[in-house]
Amino acid sequence: MHEVDSEHSKAELLFPCPLCSLVCSSPVILQEHVELHLQGHLSDQGERRFECPMCSTVCSDSFSLQEHVELHLNQSSDPDPDLKLALQLQQKEELRRQQEEVQQEEEEFKKLQRQFGLAGEGGYRRQTERSMEKAVAQGLLTPADFHWKRAEMMESLASGVDDGATRSQGILRALYDFYQTEWKDYVHVWLCADTDHYGSSVGDKGWGCGYRNFQILLSSLKMIDTYSSLLQDKVVPCIPRIQSMIEEAWKEGLDPQGASHFNQRLQGTRAWIGATEIYVLLTSLGISSRIIDFHKPTGTADTHPLLFDWVKQYFCQTSRSSRLPNKIIQTGLPPLYLQHQGHSRSVVGFEQKKNGSFCLLLLDPGSSMSDIRKLLSRDTWTTAVRLIRKFPRNLKHRQYQLVSVQGVLSAEDKQMYFH
């Protein structure tokens, strides 16, 4: 009888871990061992997770996990109703917190979808129709005019050709005349080849700048001998047609990463496009181009002097001779596509002032047609030119991209780019 009691007392001195099969010889060792269980582990994303090894509840920190596991242990040794209730309440609280996190992630994702035009709210056509419907409701447009304008829009969309409603011509010619007759505070001015301005319409307001800048660039390429023969059968497309052109290029194997980002679809959306999509469009037309990245400011006060230097070198490439260049140089170069977060513009010229400073001449699709056409009148062009001149202090976004046209793709290049 004595020996049985002795064996029983020895068994009581062993301390099994409630979380695994290990048996410890002392409570101190057991406590250290259990704490290792409670330290959490890394998730697939590299974040530390504090997951209960007994019921898989995820706690917010190690302290909460320890309290939670102690409830399990107390419950197993002493099924106190209060402890059971506390455990249930804690599990409910953790579940509520996880649900809130999921809901917040979903809301942030939807916000990003709306911001980038991927929320399924309709594209150019639907936005135009809604704008006209609103104008009718406000008495600004008659029902008859609504149907006439809608028919015009549908005809343009069916043909794939931009209707030219926001197009302004003769801008570069006017700038040349302005610098020749009015403006004297400069050493040199370089201008790109003849280029039309395409402004935003009610159908693409808020998201169409990338498409409009492509129209601006294409209008210039069609007037440059190097590219005109390649583009002789090409018209300036409307925005939905540009979207379908990008989708067709994706199907040919161009930019699979971008295609995946947009889920292979642009038509019927208000999705913004940027420098990569401009590159894809040009490549699909047989035109060589390159993207130049300016990842961070390189000057004082968050300015980008390297960007300005690059643009100057671009425009100077046609006047590299031993003799001094003219004060006004009308190059045969197409404009540059300039992208920053949330917006894009077209660089149509570069000015070097007498005090040594530089400025870019930028056409903005967001500018109203009335403001752009002030460049065409001698009475208003001084004020209008000031609006398109941008100095380093005016370009202070953290990152910029330029797209520069480089010539015509060779047969070998085409084989490399396309399937």
Active site (catalytic) residues: 209, 343, 364
For 89, list phi and psi in degrees, rounded to 5.
-65, -40
First to last CA, the chain: 89
Q: In whole angstroms, what is the distance from residue 77 CA to residue 72 CA?
A: 9
**9-47 burial: b if 16+ Cβ within 10 Å, else e:** eeeeeebeeebeeeebeeeeebeeebeebbebeeeeeee
Angle formed by the axes of helices 275-284 and 209-221, nearest 10°: 40
Which H or E run contains 412?
helix 411-417
Tokens encoding 393: 């202090």
**175-203 burial: b if 16+ Cβ within 10 Å, else e:** bbbbbeeebeebebbbbbbbbbbbbbbbb
Residue type, 300: T
Scanning 117-221, the segments in alpha helix (DSSP H) are 124-137, 143-159, 171-181, 209-221
Are the CB atoms for 312 and 350 separated by under 8 Å?
A: yes
Query: 396: Cβ–Cβ under 8 A, 6 or more apart, which residues?
Result: 297, 301, 302, 303, 304
